[in-house]
Structure formats: C-alpha cells, structure tokens
Amino acid sequence: MIVMVFAPIEMIQKADAETWPSRRGVVTMSTASDARNARNIFPWWRVEICGTYRDNGESFCITRIRFGGLEYADSRASALETVAKYPIGREVDVYYSPQNPKLTVLVAKSSWGEMIALVAIAGFFLLLPVLLWVFRKQIEPERYGRV
C-alpha cells in the first residue's frame, strides 16, 4: 500500500527531472554512511556527494543520485560502489530543478523498468485478496453443490 502511495510521487519527480537543465561541477566530497534510525529498523546506506559548480564556485550537495530507484534499500556494497563512481575531483553534470535549484540529482534520465515493476508487484499484492475471494466464490458452489 505504501508503494502505491509513494510510487506516483516518485514517478512525477522522475519525469520532471528528465527535463531539468544541468551545470558542470567538480566533486569535492563523496561518502557513504550507515543511516539507520534509532531503533535499527530498516538499515540502509546513504550516499552524499558534494562539490562546487564550475561556473561560479557555488557549492552543492546531493543525497539523491536519481529518482525512480530503490535507493532507500541500498546495501553497503551498493553505496560504496556509488561513491567509487563519483570520486573526489571527478567532473559531473548536476541536474537541478528550475523551480528549486537546491533540488539536484546526478542522473536525470534512467530506465523506467524498475518503477513499472515495483508498481506492478504492489498492484498484484493489493489485488491478491480480491482475486482469492473471487476464486473462492467460484469453487464454493462446486464443492458444496448448488442450492
């Protein structure tokens, strides 16, 4: 149910990000940290990449590489792989929202397959009780005979 609520929001952000302009920047910090909450429920790793824009030296920090992914379920290995992909000194394109320039990502365009699969799986599990109820209603008269 949570997926069906948040997936459309994520899809809208993903579609918006695909139209954003970009600026060149240089990575000055690239880290991965364990972002568990106080109760240690749902451990996940957070990637933070900071740098400066080439055109004016202004700084940026990105905690979201892209929209439309399962970043909140990333493993330590995945987070370290992302950090290795964006080492200090690397030049990157930083995509930003024209309405809110602080809202930035490093990958504006990515596959829609992950989002579509996630919504399809969530939809299946939401419909499963209905399908089981309909199936049960169809076999019940056969089992007990029609009245």
Give residue 136's domain range. 2-144
Task: Report the b/e string of 129-144 with b at 16+ CB within 10 A.
Answer: eeeeeeeeeeeeeeee
Name every residue whose Cβ is closer than 8 Å to that of residue 52 and which is 6 or more positions away in sequence: 25, 26, 28, 58, 59, 60
Per-residue pLDDT, 52 = 96
Mean pLDDT value across the chain: 78
pLDDT, one tens digit per residue, over 115-135 is 666 666 666 766 777 777 777
**More confidently predicted of 76 and 113:** 76
CA distance linking residue 104 with residue 101, whole number of Å: 7
Give the number of domains in the chain: 1
Mean pLDDT for the stretch of residues 67-80: 69
Q: How much is the pLDDT for 107?
A: 85
Q: How confident is the model at residue 87 (pLDDT cuts 50, 70, 90)?
A: very high
Q: Whole-angstrom Cα distance, residue 26 to residue 48?
A: 14
- Chain-centroid distance, C-alpha 48: 15
pLDDT of 17 over the 70 cut: yes
In DSSP terms, which residues pair with 53 in a beta bridge? 25
Query: Looking at the predicted structure, is the pLDDT value of residue 53 above 90?
Result: yes
Please report the pLDDT score of residue 86 as a whole number.
95
